Amino acid sequence: MERFSLDPEIKLSSVAIKVKDLDKMENFYRHIIGLDLINEENDMALMGLGQEKKKLLGLVYSPEADENLNQGTGLNHMAFVFPEREQLGSFIHHLFELNYPIDGESDHGYCEAIYITDPEGNRIAFVWDKPQEKWPVADGKIHGVTKPLDLRKVTKNYSETYQHIPKDTKVGYVHLSVANLDESYDFYTNLLGFTLKDNDFSNMHYLSLNQYHHHIALDSWTPSSYAPSVQDDELGVDHVTFSVPNYDSLVALRNHLTAHDADLYFNKGKQIIGINDPNGIQLWFRVFPK
């Protein structure tokens, strides 16, 4: 049987996280990260690139959520990808000026990244992708590394003071911690049609929609004693949204999922499919108005 593949034009669009203090989190993402508030309704703030109305992040107000309920399964970190290395340098310099802590920095071979944590414990990577021809690829697989990144070199040639998240910034990937790596891998590859892009690590996988290094990372680093799925009343990831290029592509995905008896939500009018992964993480596939 021919393996199902997602439309390569489907793109990772945005991530939504549940937050306890909406004002505090909105202020952080506006003034530290430089996102615009695009819209706020139904206890959810939509943030991103205001001029383009491009949504990158949703903050779902969840005042009763428990940050200590399940610290294993769910979002390990999300990544914002800057178009230019100088923009990453400007952002790092911005964090230095604010004395905002940087948790880590790495050269992964295919990208350079720094990691910070927001006020409610969500980890965020800020990434510059190296030119694709320089990625460490063999037999179609990414051979990533973790080497120290010299922040002084990255900030040396920053071009301007950081004031706003750069135009064309995108959500590059989401890194998820899962309860059962094999089950999650089967869901994302065999059911949804993602492609394995790593060199087969034993406790994590990189999965891609196309030729990108990865859109989804899965790891099983957390102890098995943690809850097997994300709970409704805990902070952290709420849903991940993918942009589908057209209705025909959406219907093809729906037909494939239905043929495999997947439990899904489909709304023809809103042109959206919703499905939960094995960890209780909601995935939305949506055709956005042009």
- Asked if residue 1 belongs to a domain, the reply is no
Q: How many CB atoms lie within 10 A of CB 114?
A: 21
Rounded Cα distance between 133 and 109, Å, is: 11
Rounded Cα distance between 105 and 131, Å, is: 19
What range does the domain containing 41 cover?
11-287
- Asked if residue 2 belongs to a domain, the reply is no
Instruction: Indicate the number of domains in the chain.
Output: 1
Nearest to 159 by CA among 100, 85, 222: 85
Rounded Cα distance between 64 and 73, Å, is: 19
DSSP secondary structure code for residue 93 in this structure: H
Nearest to 188 by CA among 132, 111, 126, 242: 242
- Asked if residue 230 belongs to a domain, the reply is yes
- Asked if residue 3 belongs to a domain, the reply is no
- Asked if residue 6 belongs to a domain, the reply is no
- Asked if residue 88 belongs to a domain, the reply is yes
- Asked if residue 4 belongs to a domain, the reply is no
pLDDT of residue 5: 82
- Asked if residue 30 belongs to a domain, the reply is yes
- pTM to 2 decimal places: 0.93
Rounded Cα distance between 150 and 257, Å, is: 45
Nearest to 137 by CA among 107, 109, 173: 109
pLDDT of residue 160: 82
Q: Kindly give the confidence (pLDDT) of every residue in the chain, 290 residues in length, as a single tens digit, with 9 standing for 90 and above.
A: 567 888 989 999 999 999 999 999 999 999 999 999 999 988 999 999 999 999 999 999 999 887 655 567 788 999 999 999 999 999 999 999 999 999 999 999 999 999 999 999 999 999 999 999 998 888 778 888 889 999 999 998 787 899 999 999 999 999 999 988 999 999 999 999 999 888 666 788 999 998 889 999 999 876 554 556 777 778 889 999 999 999 999 999 999 999 999 999 999 999 999 999 999 999 999 999 87
Nearest to 226 by CA among 88, 9, 71: 71
Task: Calculate the CA 205 to chain-centre distance.
Answer: 15
DSSP secondary structure code for residue 37 in this structure: E
| Beta carbons of 277 and 187 less than 8 angstroms apart | yes
Residue 22's CATH number: 3.10.180.10
